Amino acid sequence: MERRGRDVTLHRRGIRLTSVEAVTSRLTDLVDLERFPLDALDSPAGRAWVDGCRAELEAHGVCSVPGFLRPEAVARTVAAGDALVGSAWHANQEHNVDFTDLDPTVDVEHPDRRPIRSSQWAIAFDLLPPDLSVRVLAESPEMLAFVAAVLGVDELFPSADPLDAVQISHFHAGDELGWHFDNSEFSVTLMLRPPEAGGDFEFHPGLRSEDDRNVDGVRDALAGRGPDPTVLETAPGTLAIFRGRHALHRVTPVSGPTSRMNAVFTFGTDPDMCLTADTQLLFYGRRVLPSAG
């Protein structure tokens, strides 16, 4: 889900997390903790919230939490994203559904050969103000514990990559994220602003499995044959946890003068996860080594 296929390598952690106390105190400015008890996941309300999200993810391949980020925090984050748009890197790629090179040995409608376009503008983690909502959430132990609980994993960490722990993405007129499958097991996104038109998140849940690439089913979906895709309803402030490894998905082309803006978090089970240098160049236009400290 708006998380491209990307290569990672391992380094020592390069992100200095804000203190637990400071991050927790800021959460109340960002999230209605009465509705979404990030700080009390072991309480009856917290357990019920996690259980509901986990059931939704299991049933539909996506868990959507409308209103997760307070409207005031959304407005501040959008303003910051607009102020930094001139520093965004434009990643404009042609790829297939697996983000690999097109295979000329198969027929033109085969998923391995069919060209897909993805075009978006990314504002890297190191450009975001430390007190910006999405950075606070990316570094929040409570946020990490919530996502881990929904996914059923023991522990999650923010990416140690100095560019990639969280990014703000802009989709301007004509931009899109073409049909693809994720290489990662899950993605976590936060909707900040829809465009005037287009920019819908569409997906075909469970189109593949670990044992079956379902080439014919993917071929039909790419050609617009068969069942219509599911459209995820997103409003500003909506948090989404999505399993995109086996779900074909895309962001439809955007039109109009207002960009589609969202935040994409990079969480994983390894605390030392980083992009390779080549992948940094591809998605952010520069190479930045993790700090040794």
Give per-residue pLDDT as tens, 98-123: 999 999 999 999 999 999 999 999 99
| pLDDT tens figures, 135-173 | 999 999 999 999 999 999 999 999 999 999 999 999 999
| All structural domains of the chain | 8-284 (2.60.120.620)
State percent of the chain over pLDDT 70.
91
Minimum mean pLDDT range among 20-24, 49-53, 217-221: 20-24
Strands 239-242 and 62-65: antiparallel
Token pair in block for residue 196: 């005037």
Radius of gyration of the chain (CA): 18
Note whether 252 and 199 are within 8 A (CB): yes
Give yes or no for residue 40 having a pLDDT over 50: yes
Give the residue with greater pLDDT, 282 vs 12.
282
* 197: CB partners within 8 A, 6+ apart: 254, 255, 256
Half-sphere exposure of 159 (CA within 13 A, CB side): 27
pLDDT for res 21:
54
pLDDT higher than 60, residue 7: no
For all residues of the chain together, what is the average pLDDT? 92
Does pLDDT of 17 surpass 70? Answer: no
Cα distance between residue 175 and residue 263, in whole Å: 16
Averaged pLDDT for residues 56-82: 98
pLDDT in the model for residue 88: 98
Query: Can you spell out the DSSP letters for the chain?
Result: -------EEE-S----PPPHHHHHHHHHHHS-TTTS-GGGTTSHHHHHHHHHHHHHHHHHSEEEETT-S-HHHHHHHHHHHHHTGGG-EEEEEEE-TTSS---TTS-TTSTTTS-EEEEEEEE-GGGS-TTSHHHHHHT-HHHHHHHHHHHT-S--EE---TTTSEEEEEE-TT-EEEEE--SSS-EEEEEEE--SEE--EEEETT---SS---HHHHHHHHTT-SSPPEEE---TT-EEEE--SSSEEEEPPEESSSPEEEEEE-EES-TTEEE-HHHHHHHHSS--PPP--
Residue 293's pLDDT is 54
pLDDT category at 237 given cuts 50, 70, 90 is very high
Query: What's the CA gap between 156 and 30, in Å, rounded?
Result: 21
The pLDDT confidence band at residue 12, using thresholds 50, 70 and 90, is very low
